[in-house]
Amino acid sequence: NAGVTQTPKFQVLKTGQSMTLQCAQDMNHNSMYWYRQDPGMGLRLIYYSASEGTTDKGEVPNGYNVSRLNKREFSLRLESAAPSQTSVYFCASSEEPLAGSYNEQFFGPGTRLTVL
Partner 1 sequence: GNSVTQMEGPVTLSEEAFLTINCTYTATGYPSLFWYVQYPGEGLQLLLKATKADDKGSNKGFEATYRKETTSFHLEKGSVQVSDSAVYFCAPPPKAGGYNKLIFGAGTRLAVHP
> Which residues of the shown chain bind partner 1 in the complex (CB under 8 A)?
4, 31, 33, 35, 40-45, 48, 50, 58-59, 90, 92, 94, 96-97, 100-110
| φ and ψ at residue 25, rounded to 5 degrees | -135, 145
Q: Which is nearer to partner 1, 8 or 97 (CB)?
A: 97
- Least Å from the CB of residue 75 to partner 1: 17
Q: What residues contact 1, with CB distance under 8 A and at least 6 apart?
A: 26, 27
Alpha-carbon distance of 104 to 4, in angstroms, equals: 13
Residue 17 or 45: the one with the smaller Cβ distance to partner 1 is 45
- Residue 79: CB minimum distance to partner 1, A: 23
Q: In angstroms, give the least distance from the CB of 48 to partner 1.
A: 6
**Among residues 17 and 58, whose Cβ is nearest to partner 1?**
58
Q: Measure CA of the first residue to CA of the last residue in the chain; give whole Å.
A: 36
* Residue (19 or 45) nearer to partner 1, CB: 45
Q: Is 70 exposed, middle or buried (0-12, 13-18, 19+ CB in 10 A)?
A: exposed
